[in-house]
């Protein structure tokens, strides 16, 4: 770490200091050859995925690839998960290219006829019309019907009501259409994102009250960007599902809660200034590389490493922004901290819905480089 200083952690008056970043990440971040950069802690992902796998016991775990399709991450996850949930022909080609023969569950609203023809372990059918088009392919298929249950979801970050899946009437319309080639295996649902173990278990109780012998309970396990140290209670969820199973085949498909924690977006402070009393640190790159704080409306947790010797501010509310010419390019607002030009900024929790959901080409700044810590 340059300047021999200690990292300045973000501290908010109303909050506990955030969890400590692994020393190996803090060691590497200031010396990355190019910034902005994405840095992935693969040993941390390996450990986390193994812990989730253990906690879930007999419940199958598929990784929802849309959270982050990075091949290096998928290779680590492949050692722990039972399969992958893909939601497009592109994700299907990517995953089956990397892991031929691995089980895939094919989901997503608005599947094309070409997508309906893709080989799968399970296909999640979203509507009666989609099921009819699947039948018309003449191919074999193993179907889970995606139910959009009428359940209140309190405190969820994003509810998936609206066009996703079907209501009970839609499911009833589908039931008589099944036969020898296109087989009904059970139900699929994905209710919301940002759910605690207790809320997911309530959902599970409802779905397991049905006759279906196979149920995919979806993803949406809570990830708290306000309190990075608080984690989804995998042990409670696993034990709760084990108690509800009664011989049925259960599956979950988490995305964010598997990969969010292993990714970091590392950049440097390029300017520090005050405008009408407000202090700003401007970093190289921006939310076109890490769109998560804009889409979720949160402050991205960060740590500033004192590698800079330029002008700066000390111990006052500071808003950290990127290089884009838009007032929306904000990572974190009014964080009480200190920053100097040349300091290294490490944004945490940038491993899911981060690079791959971002509008990379906006303003044509250079793309980040990608780095992987290995065991």
Ligand X SMILES: *Cc1c(COP(=O)(O)O)cnc(C)c1O
The catalytic residue positions are 325
Near ligand X by CB under 6 A: residue from 126, 253, 299, 348? 253
Q: Which is nearer to ligand X, 29 or 201 (CB)?
A: 201
CA distance 117 to 106: 10
* Segment 25 to 64, residues that bind ligand X, using CB under 6 A: 64
H-run or E-run covering 105: strand 104-106
CA distance 368 to 355: 9
Neighbours of 50 (CB within 10 A): 13
Cβ-count burial of 267 within 10 angstroms (0-12 exposed, 13-18 middle, 19+ buried)? Answer: buried
Any contact of residue 368 with ligand X (CB under 6 A)?
Answer: no
Any contact of residue 83 with ligand X (CB under 6 A)?
Answer: no
Q: Which is nearer to ligand X, 64 or 131 (CB)?
A: 64
Closest-CA residue to 345 (of 318, 326, 327): 318
Near ligand X by CB under 6 A: residue from 120, 190, 212, 251? 190
Any contact of residue 263 with ligand X (CB under 6 A)?
Answer: no
Near ligand X by CB under 6 A: residue from 41, 70, 85, 115? 85
Strand, coil or helix: what is 316? strand
- Segment interacting with ligand X (CB under 6 A) among 13-21, 250-258, 289-297, 354-362: 250-258
Where helices occur in 99-154 by DSSP H, the ranges are 113-116, 128-136
Q: Which is nearer to ligand X, 147 or 221 (CB)?
A: 221
Instruction: Report whether 207 contacts 215 (CB < 8 A).
Output: yes
Any contact of residue 95 with ligand X (CB under 6 A)?
Answer: no
Non-local (6+) Cβ contacts of 75 within 8 A are 98
- Segment interacting with ligand X (CB under 6 A) among 6-14, 134-142, 217-225, 267-275: 217-225
Q: Which is nearer to ligand X, 85 or 348 (CB)?
A: 85
Cα dihedral 41, 59, 228, 320 in deg (nearest 10): 70
Instruction: Report whether 86 contacts 104 (CB < 8 A).
Output: yes
Any contact of residue 193 with ligand X (CB under 6 A)?
Answer: yes
Q: What is the pattern of x (binds ligand X, CB under 6 A) and - over residues 281-310?
A: ------------------------------
Any contact of residue 254 with ligand X (CB under 6 A)?
Answer: yes
Tell me the closest approach of the beta carbon of residue 367 to ligand X, in angstroms.
Answer: 24
Q: Which is nearer to ligand X, 184 or 223 (CB)?
A: 223
Any contact of residue 218 with ligand X (CB under 6 A)?
Answer: yes
What count of Cα atoms within 13 Å lies in the side-chain half-sphere of residue 251?
28
Neighbours of 72 (CB within 10 A): 14
Footprint on this chain of ligand X (rule: CB under 6 A): 64, 66-67, 85, 107, 190, 193, 218-221, 253-257
């Amino acid at each position: 770490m340059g300047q021999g200083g200690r990292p300045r952690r973000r501290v908010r008056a109303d909050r506990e200091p955030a969890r400590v970043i692994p020393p190996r990440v803090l060691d590497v971040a200031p010396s990355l050859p190019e910034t902005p950069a994405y840095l992935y802690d693969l040993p941390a992902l390996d450990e986390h995925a193994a812990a989730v796998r253990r906690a879930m016991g007999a419940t199958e775990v598929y990784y929802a690839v849309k959270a982050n399709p990075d091949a290096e991450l998928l290779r680590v996850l492949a050692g722990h998960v039972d399969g992958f949930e893909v939601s497009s022909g592109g994700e299907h080609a990517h995953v089956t290219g990397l892991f031929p023969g691995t089980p895939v569950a094919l989901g997503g609203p608005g599947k094309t006829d070409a997508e309906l023809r893709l080989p799968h372990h399970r296909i999640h059918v979203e509507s009666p019309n989609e099921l009819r088009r699947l039948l018309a392919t003449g191919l074999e298929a193993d179907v889970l019907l995606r139910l959009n249950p009428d359940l209140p979801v309190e405190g969820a970050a994003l509810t998936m009501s609206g066009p996703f899946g079907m209501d009970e009437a839609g499911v009833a319309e589908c039931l008589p259409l099944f036969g020898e080639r296109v087989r009904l295996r059970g139900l699929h649902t994905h209710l919301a994102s940002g759910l605690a173990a207790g809320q997911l278990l309530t959902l599970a109780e409802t779905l397991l009250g049905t006759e279906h012998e196979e149920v995919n309970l979806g993803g949406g396990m809570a990830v708290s960007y306000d309190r990075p140290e608080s984690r989804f209670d995998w042990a409670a969820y696993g034990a709760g599902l084990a108690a509800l199973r009664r011989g049925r085949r259960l599956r979950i498909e988490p995305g964010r809660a598997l990969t969010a924690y292993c990714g970091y977006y590392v950049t440097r402070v390029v300017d520090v200034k005050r405008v009408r009393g407000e202090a700003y640190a401007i970093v190289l790159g921006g939310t076109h590389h890490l769109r998560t704080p804009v889409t979720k409306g949160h402050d991205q947790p960060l740590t500033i490493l004192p590698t800079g010797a330029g002008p700066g501010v000390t111990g006052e509310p500071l808003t950290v922004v990127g290089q884009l010419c838009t007032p929306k390019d904000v990572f974190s607002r009014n964080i009480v901290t200190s920053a100097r030009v040349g300091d290294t900024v490490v944004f945490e929790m940038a491993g899911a819905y981060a690079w791959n959901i971002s509008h990379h080409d906006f303003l044509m700044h250079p793309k980040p480089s990608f780095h992987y810590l290995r065991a």
